[in-house]
Amino acid sequence: MKVGIIGATGYAGAEIVRFLSFHPEAEIVWYGSRSYVDKKFSDVFGNMFQIVNDVCKGENIAELAETVDVIFTATPQGLCSSLVNEDILSKVKIIDLSADFRIKDISVYEKWYQIEHKSPQFIDEAVYGLCEINRDKIKAARLIANPGCYPTCSFLSIYPLAKEGLIDMNSIIIDAKSGTSGAGRGAKVNNLYCEVNENIKAYGVASHRHTPEIEEQLSYASGKDVVINFTPHLVPMNRGILITAYANLIKDIGNDDIYEIYHSYYDDEYFVRVLPDGVCPETRWVEGSNFVDVGIKKDDRTGRVIMMGAMDNLVKGAAGQAVQNMNIMFGLDESCGLNFAPLFP
């Protein structure tokens, strides 16, 4: 497969390059970057020295569509929707890492992201690329909305109990923590070393734009309209997401039974690892990988269940899941190019 990447010099785009540089069935022929046109990719990311010798090109999606089989758009919100059209989609598959096609209600998207949607005619067609849930739809798709990082970790941690109707969906509280790479590669004062180091803070309280995405997907899973409390926190590390979600149980079910449910949903999913009872997910055990580690604990005293998940925000939360989507779309093994152990230390 010939691959083009628009936004190749952001954190997520660079991760796609890292994975596909050693993918046995893919060849990157276009490294798109608005900021580094005509500059060698390895001059921007020295880790790719003598691995990638190509120079960065612009963002001409019309030219790109004539050249490649699939395009990854690892770009800010609004760009992909402004570029895509029927002619483009008739020639090439697109995997969009922005939020442009994740939310089906245009008014909700425009409210939370504060921008006008440029191609609403493709929203219904776009497939939400959460691989473990929408695998069959992904196979036939030509436009994939790659899920957000917080929504992926949150949803996979909660999904089995939501699907089984065992929790009060409007009692869900999600406490989430992420490393600084989740904010992207752009220079921002709040992400400077002295601003982040030795500190932890909440942000986007009651207003984070991943909230409606999580609510929408949990609504599909449970068959109910879901409203949640979602509070993210910034922690001084490069990578990783840890979510701790709380919900009221609506049926009397034991901890062992809960684990049995999770295993029934995920034992055949290579990238979702259900941890043993009593073991809590940790970001260090998933760093650099496409794995999501999930743990669950029933609190008998309060009648609540605590659902935990850890993953790498740049991999399963972005680039890794995008490559997993590509593998599904082209009939390859899902782990192709992603089958490696997490990094430690």
Q: Which residues are catalytic?
A: 149
Give the 3-state secondary structure of residue 75: coil
Contact assessment for residue 102 and residue 213, using Cβ atoms and an 8 Å cutoff: yes
Residues in CB range of 270: below 8 A, 6 or more apart: 334, 335
Q: Concatenated DSSP letters for 312-335?
A: -TTIIIIIHHHHHHHHHHTT--TT
Amino acid at residue number 105: D
In this structure, which long-range contacts are made by residues 13-16, counting pairs with CB atoms below 8 Å and at least 24 apart in sequence?
13/72, 13/74, 13/319, 14/45, 15/314, 15/315, 15/318, 15/319, 15/320, 16/72, 16/74, 16/319, 16/322, 16/323
Tokens of 81: 């929707």
Amino acid at residue number 143: L
Strand 143-145 relative to strand 93-96, pairing: parallel
Q: How many CB atoms within 10 Å of residue 31? A: 27
Q: Give the helix ranges, DSSP H, for the chain.
A: 11-20, 41-44, 61-65, 79-83, 86-89, 106-113, 131-139, 149-163, 193-196, 211-222, 255-266, 320-329
Give the 3-state secondary structure of residue 50: coil
Contact assessment for residue 150 and residue 230, using Cβ atoms and an 8 Å cutoff: yes
Contact assessment for residue 3 and residue 20, using Cβ atoms and an 8 Å cutoff: yes
User: Rg of the Cα trace of the chain?
Assistant: 20
